[in-house]
Amino acid sequence: MRIPLIAISCLLLASASASAADVKSISRLAAGPDNILFVADWKAARVHAITLPAAPQKPAGTVFNVLDLEERLSTQVGGAKVTVEDMVVRPGTAEVYVAVSYGRTKTPALIVVTSDKKVRRVDLKAAASTSIALRDAPTTDYKFWRETPERSFTVTDMKWRDGELFVAGLSNQDFASTLRRVKYPFGSPQSITSVEIYHTGHNLIETRAPIRAMNFATWGGKTYLVAAYTCTPLVIIPLDDLKDGAHIRGKTVAELGYGNTPADMIAYTKTDQGKAEDFLLLVNFNRVSNVIPVSQLEAAGARPGIETIVPYGQIAGLDVMQAPLVGTLRLDNLDDKSFVFVRRRLEKDSLELVSMGKGLSFRLTDHISEYAFPEHSFKGNAFQLQYVKPLQDMLLKEEGFPEFIKASE
């Protein structure tokens, strides 16, 4: 029998404590307001709000080409092998915070990486922080596939929006898939909503499998949480429905492919010829990434949700663009112009922290193509000179190879 859901305000108010950060694990990070970084600690079933020292603001245009990230992270933990747990950008500073675990006991560490390839470890024990206990966290000692503790899914994603944290994960309830809303500064009672969905590939109403990646989108004057689940239904939930004690069903608006675990989801705006358009970018562990126009989500939201099985291998509900981001583990907005992402580059088996423009072209230096040969020339090809060469020159400069820019003639 699972523990019943209990809300006792005085205990919740007492759960927020001011101290140095006693971080026992890290599953997800979220950048908050005023130099605050939120750290989800699944072992302690808490969220820590760490106060970072002030950092200078940097203008847009910073690029990251850290191609030996694994070695640089390892030096900060005594040479141990590291596993990347999460990554976020500290807004406006071009500082990237990478959470790792290392050693047999999976000790957590938080490491700052900058575009000049400098790294430093954050002293969590000395950092000023407050923290709050997450209500009804999983208490079982069950391990998925004899390896992964169920409790490690206490927080599967975490996003900051308008004064509160939205925390997806599991609870100890029968309807285990849970969305928590936690106001900051900590002290107010938490809101817990259990969420079920219709999973198009499984032909099931699912109440346990948690959200794996999420973000927000607004249309028609209303804000929605957009959530991706394993194997890969895409669901929308009006934020107004996320109330304490409620049990709701998310609206399944798309199926984006079987045999996949979503890795991360970010929201961004792209301006083309003076016209701004909002997008979500979903990166996946087992599939290519999906660029999702919010206008398509709006159209899908106006239709009935998908409530019938979608055959394996078929994409349904949205016409999404694919992005060449295979191997991406975590992704964030670097600035208005660029993304930054931690990836495992499969061809070289290297862990990297690199940036890419929001035009989502590609990383030119990932490929050996016709353009890479020294004999290649743009001379006499008007189309190449007008459209291809300027893009290639920009990419070569951003990726650290300006000497490979070729003359026009």
For 85-105, the pLDDT digits (tens) are 999 999 999 999 999 999 999
pLDDT above 90 for 154: yes
Query: Quick one: pLDDT at residue 102?
Result: 97
- Nearest-5° angle of CA 360, CA 315, CA 247? 100
For 119-141, the pLDDT digits (tens) are 999 999 999 999 999 999 999 99
pLDDT band at 60 (very low <50, low <70, confident <90, very high): confident
Provide the residue ranges of all domains of the chain, joining segments of one domain with +.
Answer: 365-404
What is the rounded distance in angstroms from the CA atom of residue 63 to the CA atom of residue 115? 6
Q: Dihedral of CA 44/20/99/278: which sign?
A: positive
Q: Among the listed ranges 152-156, 249-253, 308-312, which one has the minimum average pLDDT value?
A: 308-312
φ/ψ of 357, rounded to 5, equals -65, 155
Region 256-272: mean pLDDT is: 94
- Chain centroid to CA 7: 30
By the 8 A CB rule, do 201 and 255 touch? yes
Joined tokens for residue 200: 């198009």
Beta strands at 191-199 and 247-249: parallel, antiparallel or unpaired: parallel
- Closest by alpha carbon to 107, among 89, 94, 125? 125
Query: Quick one: pLDDT at residue 409?
Result: 55
pLDDT above 70 for 263: yes
Query: E-assigned strands of 81-203?
Result: 82-90, 95-102, 107-113, 119-121, 128-133, 143-144, 148-149, 157-161, 164-170, 177-183, 191-199
Query: Quick one: pLDDT at residue 18?
Result: 52
pLDDT band at 19 (very low <50, low <70, confident <90, very high): low
CA distances from 102 to 70, 85, 391 (A): 12, 10, 40
pLDDT above 50 for 9: no
pLDDT band at 156 (very low <50, low <70, confident <90, very high): very high
Task: Supply the mean pLDDT for the chain.
Answer: 92
For 310-334, the pLDDT digits (tens) are 998 899 999 999 999 999 999 999 9
Query: Quick one: pLDDT at residue 3?
Result: 42
What is the rounded distance in angstroms from the CA atom of residue 212 to the CA atom of residue 229? 5
CA distances from 82 to 113, 119, 399 (A): 15, 14, 25
Maximum CA pair distance of the chain? 76
Query: Quick one: pLDDT at residue 21?
Result: 74
By the 8 A CB rule, do 28 and 154 touch? no
Number of H helices, E strands in the chain: 5, 29
Query: Quick one: pLDDT at residue 59?
Result: 84
Joined tokens for residue 273: 């010829």
